[in-house]
Amino acid sequence: MSTTPLAQQPSSTQYFQKGLGLKAVAQGLLERDYHSHIVDYLRRHDFTLRIADMEIHLAQEFGFCYGVDRAVEYAYQAREKFPDRRILLTGEIIHNPHVNRRMLEMGIGFLSGQYSNGVSAENLTPEDVVILPAFGVTINEFKQFSAAGCILVDTTCGSVLNVWKRVEQYARGGFTSVIHGKYFHEETKATSSQATKYPGGHYLVVRNMEEAERVGDFILGKLSREALLAQFAKAISPGFDPDLHLQKIGVANQTTMLSSESLAIAERLKQIMITKYGADAIDAHFRNFDTICSATQDRQDAVMKLVTAHQLDLMLVVGGYNSSNTNHLAALASQYTRAYHIDDPRGLISAELIRHKPFGQSEEIETRGWLAAGPAKIGLTAGASTPNNKIGETVARLAELRGEKVEAWLND
């Protein structure tokens, strides 16, 4: 069900939220572009493949989640339904460079970001088709696109919409949304904007437990108003008054954050509010609902299962470097073994050299000696925006590094 107020919604002929009637066609094209028979083989064989002296274990939940698959499918449907119209994405449809470049190859442009080509929202006309990404868009952006009269294809993920509903509930009840996320991330921007739908609705975004503790320090009188406002200047709603707006808080999260951290932050803030107001009054000052994305949770759980079930020599995590959920998979795996986040199989330069991005760093680096000679147990997973063909190509590249052809080891 849409959470967009009816007064703001375009007509049904201009607004598509449940596909465009071309699912079968789009599925065929998606199969062509992203299928991997190697991944199919791994699924059929207990997610394990032996190649020479390597034992490769694929996490049992990986790659495209339902929301991502749906978003990409709708883009393919839009291209088929409107072959002669200009089609534009508001930004990256998902955080995967291969999928975004495929959009460009299909003649789908971008209104912002590294793939944009000079077209902006101000240039839109009623003849244009605009695709809203899985992350969603802010309220103001939605109003702007609707006012332009263009056709809107809304691919906002259902898990994101679920968080929006909670944030709206907080705002209606006079609670400030404290959002665990990255204030600059498209999803968090869209989510935080939902708090401003109602008069007096406010938000504050915390990146991690350390920032949550800083908020707690203010609530408990250990941090000045000026210090709080300075630290969170880019992560608060307009007109935010911490003395007023941190008296009643509700916790939400960017769906792709590390779930254990989101839960820990919520519990810590609850305890801070109990310290401030007392356990008997907690319901009047604190709210929290579980808005962890099930797909994000499933992929994190699968990594945990993999690293605890096998004594891995290393873990490869495949996905876009700007993908939050992929970064968190790498962080989780690194607690148990050597983990390398690569955005592409080409990062496996040789058995001696790998190009990857360490968790918490913004730039990729090259590391030597990552794959030693001799027997090796290798774990493999991929972020929710990584297509299966990139996972299969990673397995094939591992085989090449041992002087093997992967096909020779696919024995049904």
132-174: pLDDT as tens digits:
999 999 999 999 999 999 999 999 999 999 999 999 999 999 9
Specify the pairing of strand 48-51 against strand 54-58. antiparallel
Q: Are 39 and 90 in contact (CB under 8 A)?
A: no
What ranges make up the beta strands (E) of 111-168? 129-132, 151-154
Which 3 state secondary structure label does DSSP give 226? helix
Determine the Cα–Cα distance for residues 103 and 107; give it in Å rounded to an integer: 7
CA 111 to chain centroid: 20
Q: Are 124 and 148 in contact (CB under 8 A)?
A: yes
User: Active-site residue 364, yes or no?
Assistant: no
Question: Residues 257-264: what's their mean pLDDT?
Answer: 91
On average, the pLDDT of the chain sits at 94
Structure tokens at 70: 């749906």
Structure tokens at 62: 């990986």
pLDDT in tens, 40-55: 999 999 999 999 999 9
Eight-state DSSP code of residue 102: H
Domains of the chain: 34-64+295-409 (3.40.1010.20), 66-156 (3.40.50.11270), 159-292 (3.40.1010.20)
Q: Which of 187, 226, 267, 393 is catalytic?
A: 187
Which 3 state secondary structure label does DSSP give 396? helix
Structure tokens at 128: 């244009």
pLDDT in tens, 270-327: 999 999 999 999 999 999 987 778 898 999 999 999 999 999 999 999 999 999 999 9
Q: Are 207 and 181 in contact (CB under 8 A)?
A: yes
Q: Are 384 and 256 in contact (CB under 8 A)?
A: yes
Task: Enter the pTM of the model.
Answer: 0.91
**Kind and range of the H or E element at 331?**
helix 324-334
